[in-house]
Structure formats: C-alpha cells, structure tokens
Amino acid sequence: MPLPKIVARAAGLASEAGGTALKQLQHVRIPGVGQASVTDDPRTSARRWRAVTVLTDPDQLRTATPAPLAAFGDRLEVRVSQAPGDRGAELAARFRGPVTEEEIGELRSALREAKQLVEVGEVLRNEPQPHGHRKQTPQGKVLDGVIAQAPKEGVL
Amino acid sequence: MKAATWTGVNEVSVEEVPEPQLLNDHDVILKITQSVTCGSDLHLLGGYIPFMRAGDVLGHEFIGEVVEAGPAVRDRKVGDRVVVAPFAACGNCWYCEQEQYSLCDNGNANPGITEGLWGQSPGGCFGYSHAMGGYAGSHAEYMRVPYADVGTFVVPEGVSDTRALFASDAASTGWMGADLAGTKPGDVVAVWGAGGVGQMAARAAMLLGAEQVVVLDRVPERLQQVREHVGAEAVDYTTTDVLAELRERTGGRGPDVCIEAVGMEAHGTGVAGAYDQVKQQLRLQTDRPTALREAILACRKGGSVFSLGVFAAMVDKFPMGALMNKGLTFRGAQVHAQRYIPELLERMARDELVTEHLATHVLPLSEAPRGYQMFKDKTDGCVRAVFQP
C-alpha cells in the first residue's frame, strides 16, 4: 500500500478510536467520571425513555411534535408531561422496536435540536470556525473522532 | 486574518486563519479591540484539559465593535462598542431564566463530552476547547458571537476599553464569587490568589460590605497591586502559616467567606505542595487542589467556601470531613457574566471599580506567544497580557 494511503488509513483509525473512546466514557462507572446511559443491554437500552426538559407550555409540544422528532415517524413513541415547578415541559421519546447505538445517538441529537428549536428558534451551529493549521497527529485525529461523535453522545 | 492559536502543549503561535462568518440568526461578528489572557487559559496551554485541537484560536475575555449582525439580532447594531460574556448563553432556557448563564442548556454544540465527564453539560465557552463547545476564541482580528442580544453589552461612554475589558470575565467572575458565597456587611473574607479574578473578588467583597478582606498569594507584584489598587490586606503565603495567620486575624474563628481563585494548578508549600505536584505529573490526579483544601480548612464553622478557580476532573485528599463537620456551604461555578456585567459597567463608570492596573502588558496580537510566556512564568511583573489586533 502506498505511504499516503497507509497514513490516511491510520488517521481514519485514530479518529474512529476517538469516537469509540467517547462512547466508552459514558460507560465508565467511576463516581464522578461520566454516568452511563447505554450500559443496559441493547433491548433495555432501546426501550428507555430519553428526555429533555423544555421551557415551554406542554400543550405546545402536544399540539405539534418538533420536526427533528417527527422525522422518525412511527418508529418513535413521544411523551410530553408537565415538568415540576416552573421548569416547563418534559419531552421524552423512545424507539418502538430494536435499534442500533447509532440510531440512539441520532435520537439524542434530535431531542437536543428539538429543545433548541422550541426555546431559541434555531439550532446552534459551530462549523465552520476559524482555525489555524491542524497538525495530523494521532492525538489530533482521536480528538477529531471525539468531536464528530459528541453531538450524538452523552448521558441523554 | 491573524489569530493566536494553540499549536501544542505550551505552544502558542500567530497564524493566518479564515475570517468568521455568521452561522446563526442571533450571531454578530465583532472586530476585536482588546483580548486578554486568563489564568484558566494556562490549563489549556499545559495540556491539562485535553480537548484542544492544534490550530484552535484562544481567548475568551474581550471587547470589540459590532461589524455585522444576524437577522434575528434586535438590541445590537453595527458600530456598537461591546464587552462580551465568556459563555454563550441562549437567554431562553430554564437556567438562563434563573440567571445561571454558564449552565445554559443550549450553549454547547458538543454536549456529549462534558456529559460524559460531569454527568451534565454546562454551557459553551469561547476559545476554551472542544469540550466547551469548540468555539473559536477572541485572540483574533474578528470573532463570531452567538446569542448576541444576551451575551454582549454596550460599554458606556467614558469607560475605557481596558477598564471595560475586565468586566467580561475577571470582574464578573470575582463579583460572582463574593455574591454567591453570600458575603454580607461585617464579614471577614479571605481570597486565595491575587491574579485578576482574585483581586476582583476581593474588591467585590469590599463593595458588598465586608469588614476585612485578606488576599493570599506568593507573587510580590500581585500582592502590591492588592494593597495599592484594591485596598485589601495582602499576605505572602510562602512566608507564613496561612491557617494560623487567618485565625490570628479573625479572633480564632476563621474567615466567614473563603474564595478560592486559583484552580487546578495551585502551588503549595512543603509536603502538601510536593505531593500534589507529583500526583498530577504522574496523572494520579488530574487537578491540584492545594488552595481549595486550605480554604476549606481555614473557613470558620458554618462559613461559606466558593471555588472560582477552574477544575477539570478529579482531586485527591479533599477534606470532606472538614466540609461536613464544620457545616460549611460549598459552591462553585463558571461565570454567569451576563448577570453581573451591567452592574459592573455602571460601577466602572462611577470609578468604584478600576481594572486598568491588571493590564500590565499591552501588546500587539503578533506578540501573543511572548505575552503568554510572560503570563505563564509571571515574569516582568506580568499580571495580565492584553492583545490588540
């Protein structure tokens, strides 16, 4: 294999490793270092409600499911309830059938986007950003993988 | 455009980077007038917060002029001279409604990283790693600021750029520490760290009515600034036993309020200081809590301890027994600057709060690497290095 291809392949592997490392961070159960949301077996994980609290009248969410969640169609169950105190509405969703970790990641991202659309009116964008030269180091590629996966990861 | 970037551990460069663009309707683009180093940047520089990518633009404490505004921006216009909160906050979520802006639910585009680290994601901070949102920072000629109506504040005429600059972070962070720690008239307040934030925390405590304010540090120039510009007492912790000194100054009680403005790279003396250094270098603890530990031990029974210094993950030998058995209240926070900047600007306009002395070195942006080196090494009396693009 030519050298540039080997380097590119290595960089790709490092980036994948970063994304995987971020997934694993959610599984770590050392107190204070992450909390697991996906340590369940796949069946239990798929059935778990994932929720965000949105500062809005619950009826607004009951009337119209936010577009990022509506895009999943019948594959999702969506539940809206009044949050305690003055916190607005709890917007929860889960898949009806078996799903992959990637799809659960897409649901996390969709819930966050739904909350932003209701509260702010738009989804925060962060690319493209000004930056200088990106050194192609293994650590850098690992971090690239972490960043790419970050919107879909977390404890949600 | 030119920008100062992180290019590796303890390596800052000035590079040519693309100009920012409006990405969201609530954005503005600023032409940066002044941008200043912050002690918390040193944790990024040193690699203690391992989410910096080579080429990331540094800087989160700044002032500038609006040169472009998105279609949803209502209260700012081209030409406004504004100082900016370091954390991007939407202004519409429950946390923003509670004025806890640095906890904004909608300010961090990479929530998976910090949720993994801390259980929940706080807001995003400019120029402060991909864990905190991956925003390009302010050490540049131009910068994009999202949620502009919430996070930018028009500077009153008569307040200089260099004074207003520190309302962004140093003064607002210091004020927040004194305020949220519950400082009230008659209190004795001790502040660990005489950098910009520590000095401003001391000044805030005085303005909130504290009867006695003591600031602890080891750098002579900083201690002198405390005496000369803040009007508080200054103690060199390397020449005295801090706990004994504070007991002696407080009738044996200990300070009512202890504000820690040092963070994860605290220096210490004796065995405790060496222990923390070794453990951090061996990565057996991520953060050195030397000053925080001392603040908890020094605080009077039933008193209040506030952590303003930045910590990233885990500390060792945390005096939980003292915290619990002395009945202390312990709080910490990244800065809710949007809550404090308007009041700070008013106080600056009335000359109650002066900050220009913190800007010991005002340099062109091209000299950012030298500025950071002086700031890190605390050479030439450097308290803060201010960059002018």
Q: Are B236 and B220 in contact (CB under 8 A)?
A: yes
3-class SS at B343? helix
The stretch B215-222 carries a mean pLDDT of: 95
Which residues make up the CATH 3.90.180.10 domain(s) of chain B?
Answer: 2-169+335-388
Q: Are strands B361-364 and B385-388 parallel, antiparallel or unpaired?
A: parallel
Which residues partner with B259 through β-bridges? B191, B306
- The domain defined by B170-332 folds into Rossmann fold (3.40.50)
Residues of B in contact with A133 (CB under 8 A): 7, 15, 54-55
**How many angstroms separate the CA atoms of B66 and B148, rounded?**
10
Render pLDDT for B274-320 as a digit per residue (tens, 0 to 9): 777 777 777 666 677 888 999 999 999 999 999 998 787 778 888 99
For A78, the domain range is 3-124+138-152
Other Cβ atoms closer than 10 A to A39: 12
In a domain, A130, yes or no: no
The stretch B103-121 carries a mean pLDDT of: 90
Which residues make up the CATH 3.40.50.720 domain(s) of chain B?
Answer: 170-332
Render pLDDT for B250-271 as a digit per residue (tens, 0 to 9): 999 999 999 999 877 767 777 7
Confidence of residue B76 (pLDDT cuts 50, 70, 90): very high
Q: Do B72 and A150 touch (CB under 8 A)?
A: no
Give this prediction's pTM. Answer: 0.90
Confidence of residue A25 (pLDDT cuts 50, 70, 90): low
- In the block, tokens 């910090």 appear at B114
The long-range contacts involving B220-227, CB below 8 angstroms and separated by at least 24 positions, are: B221/B360, B221/B381, B221/B383, B222/B194, B222/B195, B222/B383, B223/B194, B225/B194, B225/B199, B225/B357, B225/B358, B225/B383, B226/B194, B226/B199, B226/B202
- In the block, tokens 């504000």 appear at B259
Residues of A in contact with B8 (CB under 8 A): 135
* Average pLDDT score over chain A: 82
Closest to B110 (Cβ–Cβ): which among A119, A151, A156?
A151
**How many angstroms separate the CA atoms of A39 and A24, rounded?**
9
**How many angstroms separate the CA atoms of A39 and A43, rounded?**
11
Alpha carbon of residue B218 to chain centroid: 19
- The domain total for chain A is 1
3-class SS at A54? strand
Alpha carbon of residue B133 to chain centroid: 17
Confidence of residue A36 (pLDDT cuts 50, 70, 90): very low
Confidence of residue B7 (pLDDT cuts 50, 70, 90): very high
In a domain, A9, yes or no: yes
pLDDT of residue A26: 56
Residue B108: phi and psi, rounded to 5, are -125, 115
- The domain defined by B2-169+335-388 folds into Quinone Oxidoreductase; Chain A, domain 1 (3.90.180)
Task: Note the ipTM here.
Answer: 0.89
**How many angstroms separate the CA atoms of A122 and A62, rounded?**
20
The residue ranking higher by pLDDT, B51 or B155, is B155
Class of residue A98 by CB neighbours under 10 A (exposed 0-12, middle 13-18, buried 19+): exposed
Q: Do B72 and A122 touch (CB under 8 A)?
A: yes
**How many angstroms separate the CA atoms of B31 and A6, rounded?**
43
Kindly give, in sequence order, each residue whose CB lies less than 8 Å from that of residue A92, ignoring residues fewer than 6 positions away.
A49, A50, A51, A78, A79, A80, A81
Closest to B55 (Cβ–Cβ): which among A25, A131, A152?
A131
A90 Cβ under 8 Å from any chain B Cβ: no
Number of residue pairs across A and B with CB atoms under 8 Å?
163
Render pLDDT for A62-89 as a digit per residue (tens, 0 to 9): 999 999 999 999 999 999 999 999 999 9
Q: Do A134 and B90 touch (CB under 8 A)?
A: no
In a domain, A92, yes or no: yes
In a domain, A133, yes or no: no
In a domain, A67, yes or no: yes
